[in-house]
Structures are given as C-alpha cells and as structure tokens.
Chain A
Amino acid sequence: MADNHEHGDSHHVDYKKIYFTLLVLLIVSVVGPFFGVLWLTLLTAFGIAVVKANLVIQNFMHLRWEKRLMKWLLGASLLLMALFVAGVAPDVMNHEGDNWENLAAKAATERGIDGEVEGATVEGEPGEGVADAEQGEFSAQAAFNSVCAACHGQSGSGDGPAGAALDPAPADFNDPEFWAERDEQRIVTVIRDGAVAVGGSPLMVAWRGTYSEEQIQALAEYVMTFRPAGD
C-alpha cells in the first residue's frame, strides 16, 4: 500500500489556520442576513455551511488522506438522501399536483403561524375534517347527520347503515332505557374520549381530535334532543 499516506505525524495541516478560517466564515454567515437580501442570506447561510463542513471533513476528519472507498461511501449516502428528497418532494413539499390537492396544508399556510401559536388553545384547530372546514360554520345537526348518523342514524335510533354491522350495536337515543342512567355530562365524555372511557364498546371512538370542546358540547346537546320526553 504505497499510496497510503499512513498516519504519521505529518498531514502538514496548519490546524490553527483552518480553525480561524472557520471562525471568520461563521461571522460572515451570521452577518449575512442583516443585509436583508434573500439570495445573499441563503448564500451566506447554506453556501458557507457547505464550505465549513467541507473544511472540517477534509482537514479535521482527514478525509483528504483517506482511501477513496470512504469518500465514495459518504458521497453515496449523501446522494441517497438527495434521491429520497427528490422522490418525496412532489408529494410532501408541493401542496397540489395532478388530481390532488393538500387542503389541510394550504389551510395551514393560509392561517399562518401567528394565528396558530397565539390561539394557543391548540385544541380547536387540529384535525378539523376537510369536509367540515369547507362548509364553514359549525352546525351540530349537520355534523351529526354527516358523521354520527353513519351508525346512529339520522333519527338517532341506532339504525344507521354502518351501524347494522357493528357488534355491540350502536346506542339508540330514542330508547328511554338508554337514558335511565345517562346525563349530558356522560354524553360529552363519550363523544370526547370514546365509549372505552366509560367502559363501553371500543367501536365508539373518541372525537376530541376532530371537534373542539364547544363543538362536542353542541353535539351532546343535539343528542339530548333525541331523548324521549316524559321522564
């Protein structure tokens, strides 16, 4: 292995010089953004990061003297990451493409960051169904008819088409027995945390990810309207 500059004490690198170069580059990259020019900021930020990284890798890590194999290896792993980003970006970075659009991401961009952090009662927004978001104003009845009615039926008697398949069957809100030991608070709990929270069927899932506290309250109130009068 004659070509192998084996580790003697002699890489003939002036480490101090490289260190000071790095510091100067650091200062440039911090100062760059103060000019307020976008391309200059990007250049000083990322261009210099590449230069700095290269200096460290070549000199401190001695890649310059390492066998070619290792350069290939590191190069290949970086290329793989470029490949990954190239393959994923059309789906994740873009918010629309052929025959699809990412409504949630567009809404998030629209909403902006400040709206999100200041309204830091984050509960409200996340997971709001696309379909609901489009219909604007929240209506408990509309939500019930489009979401809950799948199993519980529009009349609330547990006869929704999807409910027919479920075991145990969905609750029948028109049944006086059902209300014998239930109150509004319990309905709120079940909608919010799922029936499992009160020892019921796991098929009734939790909706706190989809609806805000107020919306759940409104839904519960709507469910209460099914309660047969006369008790």
Chain B
Amino acid sequence: MDRFLTQASTYASEIDGIILLVGVLVGFWTLAAYTVFFWLIWKFRKKPHGRSEYLTGEEKHIKRWVTIPHLLVLVCDIFIIVGAVRVWYNVKQTLPEADSTVRVIGQQWAWTFQHPGPDNELDTPDDIFSVDELHVEVDRVYHYRLESRDVLHSFSVPVFRLKQDAIPGRSITGWFEPTVTGEYDVQCAEICGIGHGVMAARIFIEDANQHQAWIAANSVSTSQ
C-alpha cells in the first residue's frame, strides 16, 4: 500500500495493516483453491473408456477433505474480524483529545473548511473560512465536524486512509492526526450530482511555523 500512496496519518498504517492481513489470508486460500481446482480438472480429464467414480459426498472419511479446510477458513475469519473491529474502533469510534477542531462542509460541488483561527476555538468570529483548501498542522490531533448543505458527500483523504460520508442535517465527528507534511488530495467519494468530478480539494499539512504564518496571513484578510 505504501508504494501506491503515502501514509500520512497515525492510523494509515493500521488500515494498511488490516488490508495486508486480509490479503495474505485470502491470497493463501485463493491459491490453494486454484491449485486444487486446476489439478482436479487436469487429473480427471476424460480418458478413453474411463468411467467416473460414484461418490455421494456423504461418507465421513471423504467429507473430511472438505470440512477440515472449512474449519480453517473459519479460524481465518476470526483473525480478520478481530483485526477489522480493532482498527474500526480506533478510527471511527474513539476520539482522542483534540488539539484543534475544524468544520468540514460539503456543498454541490465544493468543500468549505472552517478553521478555528488564532484562538484555536471553533465558532468564534476569528474563524478562517476557506474553500477547497484545508490547512492543518502536522503531529496535532484534529477533530473534524462533517456537515453537508445539500446532498450526500463523502470526505475522503486517501493519504490518511480516511473516508466519511457527509449527510445533510447531521453533524458527524471524527479525528485524524497528520504525520507528514505536504500537499495532498481531498476527494468527494459519494456521487453528488453532475459536478461530482470537480469536487476536489487539497489538504495542506504544514509544520508549526508555516501554519502560524498561514493563520496570520488569513486572519487579516478575512476580518475585513
């Protein structure tokens, strides 16, 4: 996964980990099934004067060949469930203490980001609004409040491995903690009308100095 896309949040590696876990287990079973499958097709191809065996599959000693792999599949399932539930719990259900909170608002076809501004508190007059540009500081825990003005949108930041639908009428809270600086894509991952394809935003992950500079620069211009 890392080769496709940077891991830029604390939980990106966890999510990649569970994908890898599933991949390994599932890959093993797929290969095993294919090997047996093609071997059987080759081994029992029609031969002149050949006649197939009469097996009902009800005999215990033959059925073992199916039930034992089957139980092993069940064991693998349990591993996957435990892994998936743990990751899900960390990413979606818990909320670590926030250093800062941003509001993310989707509308047809743009993202509006409400940054807390210099006082680091949301819903105060010095909040910084920006469109299609989210500025965050690296190594700080952010909470996001996700809202939508019209239809469903989905706030997706691939480098964070984060995705959450925005629903009109609801406010959904989640968290992320960026780990590397840089500029990355924010996508809308839920079809939202004909402009769905242009609903792109960028996330700017900055170090503390850059971020303070950005706040300072924008506080002036928006206070009007």
Using CB atoms and an 8 Å cutoff, list the residues of chain A in contact with chain B. 98-105, 127, 129-131, 134, 145-147, 149-151, 160-162, 165-166, 202-203, 205, 209-210
> Interface with A: B23-31, B101-109, B152-160, which one?
B101-109
Contact of B132 among A99, A100, A146, A150 (CB under 8 A): A150
For A99, list chain B residues within 8 Å (CB).
92-93, 95, 172-174
Q: Tell me whether B194 and A203 are in contact (CB under 8 A).
A: yes
Given A99-B92, A129-B149, A166-B195, residue A160 in contact with residue B110 (CB < 8 A): yes
Given A98-B93, A103-B171, residue A131 in contact with residue B198 (CB < 8 A): no
- In the bound complex, CA of A161 to CA of B193 (Å): 19
Given A99-B95, A131-B147, A150-B110, residue A160 in contact with residue B171 (CB < 8 A): no
Given A150-B112, A161-B110, A161-B131, residue A134 in contact with residue B123 (CB < 8 A): yes
Min Cβ gap A192→B in Å is: 15
- In the bound complex, CA of A145 to CA of B129 (Å): 9
For A147, list chain B residues within 8 Å (CB).
107, 112, 149
For A146, list chain B residues within 8 Å (CB).
105, 112, 129
Q: Tell me whether B169 and A130 are in contact (CB under 8 A).
A: yes
Using CB atoms and an 8 Å cutoff, list the residues of chain B in contact with chain A. 92-93, 95, 103, 105, 107-112, 114, 123, 129, 131-133, 147-150, 168-174, 193-195, 198-201
- In the bound complex, CA of A44 to CA of B161 (Å): 53
- In the bound complex, CA of A119 to CA of B30 (Å): 62
- A sample of 7 cross-chain residue pairs with beta-carbon separation below 8 angstroms, ordered by A number, consists of A99-B95, A99-B173, A100-B172, A103-B171, A147-B107, A161-B133, A210-B149
Q: Is the interface of B mostly helix, strand, loop or mixed?
A: strand
Nearest chain A residue, comparing its CB with the CB of B175 = A99
Chain B CB within 10 A, most for which of A100, A134, A160:
A100
Nearest chain A residue, comparing its CB with the CB of B150 = A210
- In the bound complex, CA of A210 to CA of B123 (Å): 21
Nearest chain A residue, comparing its CB with the CB of B130 = A161
Return the 5 tightest CB-CB contacts between A and B, nearest first.
A104-B169, A162-B110, A150-B110, A165-B198, A161-B132
For A129, list chain B residues within 8 Å (CB).
105, 147, 149-150, 168
For A149, list chain B residues within 8 Å (CB).
131
Nearest chain A residue, comparing its CB with the CB of B147 = A130
For B170, list chain A residues within 8 Å (CB).
100-104, 130
For B112, list chain A residues within 8 Å (CB).
131, 146-147, 150
Min Cβ gap A147→B in Å is: 6
Chain B CB within 10 A, most for which of A99, A103, A149, A205:
A99
For A209, list chain B residues within 8 Å (CB).
150
Beyond A129-B149, A149-B131, A205-B193, 12 additional contacts (C-beta under 8 Å) are A98-B93, A99-B92, A104-B169, A104-B170, A127-B150, A129-B168, A146-B112, A150-B112, A161-B110, A203-B109, A203-B195, A205-B108
Nearest chain A residue, comparing its CB with the CB of B105 = A131
Contact of A130 among B132, B168, B173 (CB under 8 A): B168
For A131, list chain B residues within 8 Å (CB).
103, 105, 112, 114, 147, 149
- In the bound complex, CA of A202 to CA of B109 (Å): 12
- In the bound complex, CA of A130 to CA of B123 (Å): 13
